[in-house]
Amino acid sequence: MGTTVALTGASGFIGGVIAQHLKKAGWHVRGLARSPRQAQKLENLGIEPVQCQLENPASLLALVKDSFAVIHCAGAIRGISREDFYPTNVMGVSNMIQACLAHSSLPRFVLLSSLAAREPSLSPYAWSKYEGEAVLTREAWALKWSIFRPPAVYGPQDRALLPLFTMLRKGIGIQLGPTQAKFSLIHVDDLATAILHWLKSGDPPSQTFEIDDGFPGGYSWEDVFRISNPRLHLCLRIPPSLLKIGGKSNEIFSHLFGYTPLFTSGKVAELLHLNWVCDNTHVTQTLGWTPQISLKEGLRRLFTSDSLMPSHRD
Ligand SMILES: NC(=O)c1ccc[n+]([C@@H]2O[C@H](COP(=O)([O-])OP(=O)(O)OC[C@H]3O[C@@H](n4cnc5c(N)ncnc54)[C@H](OP(=O)(O)O)[C@@H]3O)[C@@H](O)[C@H]2O)c1
């Protein structure tokens, strides 16, 4: 068995943590770098950089060559339309698969998808994750593959949930969805250890795994507030109409000022969805992995920087 794992998205939040867990477990990590500057950053983190482009299948051959497994974690999380997400989240998956199939060693393949793929009609992002999974199941016929579908992932360097948790710590709860909504969460370290279990598992079936921290029935906003800070001074419930105006306005501003937005009408549709709860039974039975990090413990790690994640952002 080889010891090299090819990883995309190593410069991002989740991929960065996965890389550190892999290294700690003794794997040689080879990471996709989009630029010489990014290559230098990966090298500084002990990751062998391969400069290549997800959009260019031939350039990916060197990334996956002789690897035992490929963990495809790169993904576009910002954008407004399907066209914004398609090249990375759909074509990128196809290009990675083609690169793997070109090598006779046929590495195992993990796609980091999203629970959003369960509801492709909600947003262009959700659609792109669903289509990325469909491409994998259609094209990776000769590979041993698995799809991981995490819900919202939190941890150090995460820029989506961290502001909410930081406000909660200061005693201010900001509710961005319906009171009756239920959702799962997972700490990034738990997600990374599930992938390590997958790597060590003898012959993983080509299957899709939903994965969360095991909080039964999922969290309500009230649960998150209570667990994060039982002594809130203020709770702001943002009404759906205001969220929708915010999402639309941000799209208009992004056109005017030339940035790619995270908070969009699509993201609002995801926030207003009532059921983002998942179930660990299948992943636990198949891989023998169980979540170790409750929200309380995850927040303790978040605010004490007790994690494997090095600070490598600009
Ligand atoms: N965060 C969550 O709550 C969450 C939940 C479920 C699923 N996911 C999935 O997890 C994956 C990672 O998300 P994240 O939160 O870690 O996002 P992130 O911090 O924005 O990282 C995204 C990574 O993907 C890379 N990337 C994006 N477009 C690329 C392209 N065209 N070519 C090559 N690399 C590209 C980025 O590289 P650069 O640094 O060069 O931009 C970065 O390394 C995504 O697939 C996302 O859909 C995330």
pLDDT at 2: 78
Is position 265 within any domain?
no
Q: Indicate whether residue 114 lines ligand 1 (CB < 6 A).
A: yes
Residue 41 is part of which domain span?
A: 4-151+187-211+277-291
pLDDT in tens, 92-137: 999 999 999 999 889 999 999 999 999 999 999 999 999 999 999 9
Determine the distance separating the centroid of ligand 1 and the alpha carbon of 53, expressed in angstroms: 14
Determine the distance separating the centroid of ligand 1 and the alpha carbon of 89, expressed in angstroms: 9
Is position 160 within any domain?
no
pLDDT at 311: 43
Which residue has its alpha carbon closest to ligand 1 atom 5? Answer: 152
Overall domain count for the chain:
1
**Which domain CATH number covers 101?**
3.40.50.720
Q: Indicate whether residue 42 lines ligand 1 (CB < 6 A).
A: no
Kindly state the DSSP code that residue 90 receives in the 8-state scheme. I
Is position 14 within any domain?
yes
Is position 271 within any domain?
no
Residue 223 to residues 117, 162, 215, 233: CA-CA distances in angstroms?
25, 17, 10, 16
Which atom of ligand 1 lies closest to the CA of 159?
19
Across the strands, what pairs with 232? none
Is position 222 within any domain?
no
Determine the distance separating the centroid of ligand 1 and the alpha carbon of 96, expressed in angstroms: 15
Which residue has its alpha carbon closest to ligand 1 atom 35? Answer: 74
153: three-class secondary structure by DSSP: strand
State how far the Cα of 226 lies from the Cα of 219, in Å rounded to an integer. 10
Is position 262 within any domain?
no
Is position 296 within any domain?
no
Which atom of ligand 1 lies closest to the CA of 153?
3
Residue ranges in the chain whose pLDDT is less than 70 = 1, 305-314
Q: Indicate whether residue 308 lines ligand 1 (CB < 6 A).
A: no
Is position 247 within any domain?
no
State how far the Cα of 72 lies from the Cα of 158, in Å rounded to an integer. 18
pLDDT in tens, 37-74: 999 999 999 999 999 999 999 999 999 999 999 999 99
pTM of the model: 0.95
